[in-house]
Chains A and B, each alone.
Chain A
């Protein structure tokens, strides 16, 4: 089995999952070699996203990768814990859609990807300040691009 091999080789920590998708925690430094190894069996990078555990966990962010193996009909979830300001290597050289997915994570959470060819905002405009999916970004804060005649209600 691929997963057992990989689990030993990269000393992954298995996490419990309630949806039946095998979930592993990986160390930040080992992400690139791990993904290079996994790409042999998992052809599709489905998704990259992050979760902000502000004040709940020691390391603030958790980066979540979802992989799909079409030949084995199997999904895999890899998680990486990241502290504030910690960087992570980009995967855009392994999977081409990682380029946009990482841009979205950068846009929404401010997590920087080392070696990314084009790391700029994707959904929001360049002048936007802050990262809206962080838990400390206020829900109703707005950053209008034109001057408002009346100040907005709080």
Chain B
């Protein structure tokens, strides 16, 4: 009679990025049964959202899938905009697309890097993380944060891009292309990597559909479904890109689909950059910054009339504000110049911010999906006409994919758990909410 052994992998394990527990029943080294325990990162996002105003929820959405925060922002903002029935100006749409695709690239880089590392190719990890760093610098320059961006707002985006944005972005994309090329050279035909990933963690197409897979994991089985193609949003129907498909649905195909999607995302960004109209050029006028005025006053000089006291964060001045934000006074905050210099602006701001007033969408319910890093990411919002959502639910792509993990690793060796788990790119924040 064979002797079974019960082994706990996780919740804290050096090779598991993300806290989950897998209880495996072993026969020798072969897994005969697995049970996946999740919920270690449950923060009650949905309950919290029911008690926050619509604008307050945006920072919480950053923390769902924290390697592609802008896609979460986007899905949430689009859901609320659908509820309000407002449209977003073209420049904001292009910016949303560019930043969404940057996020998709960082998501895929973050997925592929640990696969390499866990299979012994530490160089791959360094190359990928280095490329990601360049992309995050681009995000940092525009949004002011690397991870918790809160950049995409209801009605548009927070700020216009800085002047050196295009150069920064093109440089980051070059670095990404280089990293992808190098990693192709290191992994794609590497016999050790192939042995560890080919025909491991196979999911058939029927199983993938039955488990509700979407995104790269579904496409790795050869099924053509991408929210950007099937239900185009923003300007995805105006740019030219392909949807890479796999064949067998094993770890190697999932790796390959993600690698190819990075290249497609770069294509989308490059097209968006050329199609988007150029941003307004700021005139260089002779005004002094506040610190210069103070310094001058200490020397006895007064810079009357030349003093610049800009109440804005960079990129949201009045001249550019309505190019990146919808002009809907009832729902959208006024530019800061209006707020501080006119009573109408003050009233508009007050009505949207103060408790008891607030952004009040009409009663109803919406489900709005976008193509997230891991698949269809949808927000289901029920509004009852008050300033807080009555119910907010996130359709997390990873949740459905993780429900298949137990079956994917069944029959394989215990060492195969790690690449299989890595290739589905579980993000705890999104899974446990």
Contact = CB atoms under 8 A, between A and B. Distances in A.
Interface of A: 17-19, 21, 43-47, 49, 51-52, 64, 66, 68, 70, 73, 75, 77, 95-97, 99-101, 104, 108, 121-125, 132-133, 137, 139
B42 A47 contact: no
A47 B396 CA distance: 9
B283 interface: no
A66 B380 contact: yes
A97 B378 contact: no
A66 B39 contact: no
11 contacts: A18-B83, A49-B393, A66-B367, A73-B231, A96-B207, A96-B210, A96-B211, A97-B212, A100-B399, A125-B39, A133-B47
A19 B368 contact: yes
A139 B39 contact: no
A112 B223 CA distance: 34
B241 interface: no
A77 B210 contact: no
Contacts of A137: 47
Instruction: Give the interface size bracket for B toward A.
Output: 35 or more
Contacts of B402: 100
A18 B83 CA distance: 8
A17 B367 CA distance: 10
Given A19-B366, A123-B432, A124-B39, A64 B212 contact: no
Contact of A70 (B207, B225, B432): B225
B362 to A, nearest CB: 8
Interface of B: 38-39, 42, 44, 46-47, 51, 82-83, 85, 207, 209-212, 214, 223, 225, 230-231, 362, 364-368, 376, 378, 380, 382, 390-391, 393, 395, 399-400, 402-404, 432-433
Contact of A139 (B47, B210, B212): B47
A68 to B, nearest CB: 8
A95 B211 CA distance: 6
Contacts of B46: 108, 133
Contacts of A44: 209, 212, 214
Contacts of A21: 367
B67 to A, nearest CB: 21
Contacts of B404: 96-97
Q: Mostly helix, strand, loop or mixed at chain B's interface?
A: mixed
A23 to B, nearest CB: 8
A147 B139 CA distance: 43
Contacts of B362: 18
B390 A70 contact: no
A4 to B, nearest CB: 22
A99 B47 contact: no
Contacts of A43: 209
Contact of A46 (B83, B85, B395): B395
Given A73-B230, A97-B210, A139 B403 contact: no
B380 A64 contact: yes
Nearest to B380: A49
B44 A132 contact: yes
Listed from nearest, the 3 A-B pairs whose CB atoms lie closest are A123-B39, A100-B403, A97-B212
A1 to B, nearest CB: 19
Given A47-B395, A96-B212, 18 more contacts: A18-B83, A43-B209, A44-B212, A45-B212, A47-B393, A51-B391, A52-B391, A68-B376, A70-B209, A75-B367, A95-B211, A97-B210, A97-B212, A97-B403, A101-B403, A104-B399, A121-B39, A123-B432
B212 A132 contact: no
A106 to B, nearest CB: 13
Nearest to A23: B365
A46 B380 CA distance: 12
B376 A46 contact: yes
Contacts of B403: 96-97, 99-101
Contact of B42 (A19, A51, A97, A124): A124
Nearest to A121: B39
A18 B367 CA distance: 10
